[in-house]
Structure 1
Amino acid sequence: MSESFRMGELFSGPGGMALGARLAAQATEGVELLHAWANDYDLDTCRTYRRNILVPEYGEDAKVVDSSTELPVGGGGIVHQNVHDLDIDALGDIEGFAFGFPCNDYSLVGEWKGLAGTYGPLYSYGVKVLASKKPKWFVAENVSGLRGANEGRAFKQILEHLQRPDDGPGYTIVPHLYSFDDYGVPQRRQRIVIVGIREDIDVEFRVPSPEIYKDVDVTARTGITSPPIDRRAPNHEFTRQSKNVVDRLNHIYPGEHAFSPRVVKVLPKHLRIKTKTTISTIYKRLEPDKPAYTVTGAGGGGSHMYHWSASRALTNREKARLQSFPDDFIFEGLKDSVRKQVGMAVPVKGAEAIFTALFKSFARAPYPSIDPNIEVAKILSPGHLGQS
């Protein structure tokens, strides 16, 4: 059985989800994938998506447009527009849909406002796409903190709306908390991914087993150095570190940070961080023989991720390696913009593992699977609150 999917994306980011889906489709016999349209509010991000995702499929005719009414009729465009202003009905028809709705209000390192925050309700635009376009499947991604936001009410509401979009078809949903280092990504990054298949389609998605990735070397050392990065590689600009930063890093051991007890004992007073709170990622060095800690897209001094032996911050290309982007994936924009894009992206190999399972499900091809670690029935049962 052959399947052809046109895929749309909201909150697309630079293209981690899209590239993972493309690689999965290429590796699955009988499945074709076309990236029909996408949307993101950041212009550099849109340009990155165009360059790496759309141009390979549509050539230089691929466009970044300012509204969905300007999208090319046959596909091949990304809309640079705030989702609040997006004309969803004007977007083209699709069979597949992906959206990594903003995580700011669900992250455990933020204020955890959930649905009461600025970003918390943005998932609803994905629900509107489901109701309007009625795709055969969708893939939604967010941080692990989503489960506990608003004492569990946010997650329950989101699952209800994804399962039963207003005026739309019903979906069978499979949420699961993935640890992407179990799926070939050289980084500890836990994310909730919800896969939905339209109820009238006789296809069952199962969570892919990490067993087939058990022999993949996901250490930070291998991720960054194998193969070596060409010094002239794009997005590989080195940060010029101040003397104080270099001196501070010289007192920090791999896997430790500026507030580690052993470091504080040896750190000269003028190099200590004087704050009321201690944050475990400030001036934290990688442990070369373990997966990296989570790559982020923002933060002030000391939050850039630091090499295990060289006294410097990682380059954006090294961080992109930890997010499993290939070196020929070029990010548009200045260094700070690229940092944000890399940190906000879905790891390519993590997305590829999930889409491979999804596409094999449609192709009726066997694959090893595990039970989901989030129970939909339990969460949606009357009176249930809190984490599953």
Structure 2
Amino acid sequence: MKQETKIMKAVELFAGAGGLAMGVSLAGFESLAVVEWDKWACDTIRENQRRDYPLVRDWPLWNGDVRDFDWSAISECVDLVAGGPPCQPFSMGGRHKAFGDKRDMFPATVDIVRCLCPKAFIIENVKGLTRSSFSNYFQYILLQLEFPEIARRGNETWLDHLKRLQGVKTSGGGHLQGLTYHVIPTLVNAADYGVPQKRERVFLVGFRSDLGVEWSFPRPTHSLDALLVSQWITGDYWERHEIAKRNRPDIPARLEKRVARLASCLFPPGEKPWRTVRDALWDLPDPRLCTPDNFMNHHFQDGARAYPGHTGSPLDLPAKTLKAGDHGVPGGENMMVRDDGGVRYFTVRESARLQTFPDGYIFHGSWTEIMRQLGNAVPVALARIVAASVAEQLAETAIRARMLEQRRERIKA
């Protein structure tokens, strides 16, 4: 008799414009709640729901603080909690206050995990979270997620709570009865997974300990070496973009030795080439020369200029990390360097491409608000890869559990 397939359920926190949540949906999860406090980001999701965009059509969106949501109202079993708590407390460009920043939502995230007891969670944040000055607080976050039922007491400082959690860990806390998780922290570069952007982020993926899951982060699929081979050894990259030899740039001096080493290798890189800005945007017309209505969110923004420390992204590498800002982004990360050496701002549609949002998904708000949404987003393609890996592991675990139960029933019979 054919068994009914169970649809896995997910809850999305700090959803923003929907990058991580879209990846979770693409991995096959059904959303029980999508929570975001920012009005403009919620307007973006609502506008796409109004347009009946398939991935977000049925999202139960809630505009508000995750701490104010009634989590006890979710009666179904939650397979996955996913979210990217605000990164400003840990961002390289922020004030670096971490636990002293009122925007730190990791405590709220742990509270929600404690309440929902999901089978797994995916939490994403900036690379700055792993810097040495935050090492104690990073360990504190990991231990809270590992032992969410060991909550902070009313008069307890976070450092005292950390010591108590460390004591539990060193005394064999992995054997505690109750809710515990196996947490796998991984620092990744989105470019290594086919995203046309050098975006380093830390993922904290956890599985409930009673499931007995052994999981590792998906292996990279793309590499810089493979891109260099395609550009400077085989020339496939330039031929694909129909760029004649006379128009090709010279090998950057800093890469000459690396290219020479690759040319002498007997075995080429096994990964696919990093995707570049040119790869991502090749079929979009110059926004200065087209009618904006023909391409959604593809409007030219004037005023871009380069100066020392403020340079754009070259066309033939993955883009710099998109940041939450527009004209004031300090490193010029929201600009491209054209073939003629000039610079211009990425349009919203181009920025969305670099974050691997589908072209049919539109963004709502002013230029500033939209660039904030995009700069804070998780690339959809990377989110899908991580969520699909978690979904596959949960499905395999459920199958093993079902087979074990059937074996026990046969033994009893």
TM-score (ref. length: structure 2): 0.68
User: Is the Cα contact below 8 Å between 1:3 and 1:362 reproduced in 2?
Assistant: no
1:129 matched to 2:90? The reply is no
Quick one: structure 1 residues 216 and 58, their matched pair in 2 at CA, closer, same or farther if it must change by over 3 Å?
closer
Q: Distance in 1 between matches of 2:56 and 2:219?
A: 36
The question of 1:46 aligning with 2:95 is answered no
- Residues 96, 285 of structure 1: alpha-carbon distance in 2 compared, 3 angstrom cutoff: same
Tell me which residue corresponds to 1:190: 200
CA gap of 1:212–1:319, structure 2 versus 1, over 3 A, is: closer
- Cα distance between partner residues in 2 of 1:326 and 1:57: 11
Alignment of 1:350-365 (within 5 A): 350-364=382-396
Q: Which has the higher helix share?
A: 2
Match of 1:18 among 13, 17, 21: 21
Say which of 252, 258, 277 aligns to 1:220.
Answer: 277
Aligned residue for 1:377? Answer: none
Partner of 2:300: 238
In structure 2, what is the equivalent of residue 174 of structure 1?
Answer: 184
The correspondence of residues 1-388 of structure 1 with structure 2, limited to 5 A, is 2-25=5-28, 33-52=29-48, 56=53, 76-91=59-74, 93=76, 94-120=78-104, 122-148=105-131, 150-166=133-149, 169-211=179-221, 214-226=271-283, 231=292, 232-241=294-303, 245=304, 249=305, 257-259=306-308, 280=309, 282=310, 284-298=311-325, 300-301=327-328, 303=332, 305-309=334-338, 311-364=343-396
Q: Over aligned residue pairs, what C-alpha RMSD do you find? A: 2.6
CA distance in 1, matches of 2:60, 2:118: 19
Question: How big is the shift at 1:299?
Answer: 5.3
Question: Residue 44 of structure 1 aligns to which amino acid in structure 2?
Answer: W
Q: Which has the higher contact order (CA 8 A, sep 6+)?
A: 1
Q: Which amino acid aligns with 2:45?
A: Y
> Which residue of structure 2 aligns with residue 373 of structure 1?
none
Going from structure 1 to structure 2, the CA distance change for 1:228 and 1:352 (only over 3 Å counts) comes to farther
1:3-23, Cα deviation, whole Å (9 max, x unpaired): 521111111111111111222
CA distance in structure 2 between the partners assigned to 1:289 and 1:58 by the alignment: 31
Query: Any conservation in 2 of the 1:182–1:210 contact (CA below 8 Å)?
Result: yes
Q: Compared with structure 1, are the counterparts of its residues 193 and 59 closer, same or farther at alpha carbon in structure 2 (3 Å cutoff)?
A: closer
The Cα shift of 1:195 comes to 0.8
Following superposition, the deviation at residue 297 of structure 1 comes to 1.4
Deviations 1:306-332 (A, max 9, x none): 221154211111111111111111112
Q: Deviations over 1:79-137 (max 9, x none)?
A: 111234333323453221101001101012222111111222x1111111111111111
Measured in 2, the distance between the counterparts of 1:171 and 1:53 equals 35
Once residues 216 and 52 of structure 1 are traced to their aligned partners in structure 2, the CA distance between those partners, rounded to angstroms, is 33
Matches of 2:116 and 2:218 in 1, distance apart?
27
Rounded to whole Å, the distance in 1 between the matches of 2:83 and 2:392 is 20
Equivalent position of 2:249 in the other structure: none
The structural deviation recorded for 1:57 is: 6.0
Mapped contact 2:312–2:333 kept (Cα < 8 A): no
Q: Deviations 1:123-175 (Å, cap 9, x if unpaired)?
A: 11111111111111110000111012644111011001111112671111111
The DSSP-based 3-state class of the residue aligned with 1:363 is helix
Residue 298 of structure 1 and its aligned partner are, at CA, apart by 1.7
What CA distance in whole angstroms lies between the structure 1 residues aligned with 2:145 and 2:328? 39
Q: Indicate the percent of aligned positions where both proteins have the same amino acid.
A: 30
Q: Which has the larger radius of gyration?
A: 2
Aligned residue type for 1:37:
A
* C-alpha contact 2:192 2:222 (8 A) present in aligned 1: no
Segments of structure 2 that go 5 or more residues without pairing to the other structure are: 151-177, 224-270, 398-413
Q: What is the deviation of 1:40? A: 0.8
Distance 1:235 1:195, change over 3 A: same
Kept after mapping to 1: 8 A contact 2:191/2:274: no
Deviations 1:239-298 (A, max 9, x none): 133xxx5xxx4xxxxxxx511xxxxxxxxxxxxxxxxxxxx3x2x221111110000112
> CA, structure 1 residues 180+224, in 2 after alignment: closer, same or farther (shift >3 Å)?
same
- Give yes or no for contact 2:194–2:221 (8 Å, CA) kept in 1: no
Structure 1 residues 84 and 364: CA distance shift in structure 2, 3 A = closer
- What is the total number of aligned residue pairs between the two structures? 308
Change (3 A) 1:112 1:59: closer
Cα distance in 2 for partners of 1:146, 1:116 equals 14
Residues 20/228 of structure 1: CA separation in 2 closer, same or farther (3 Å cut): farther
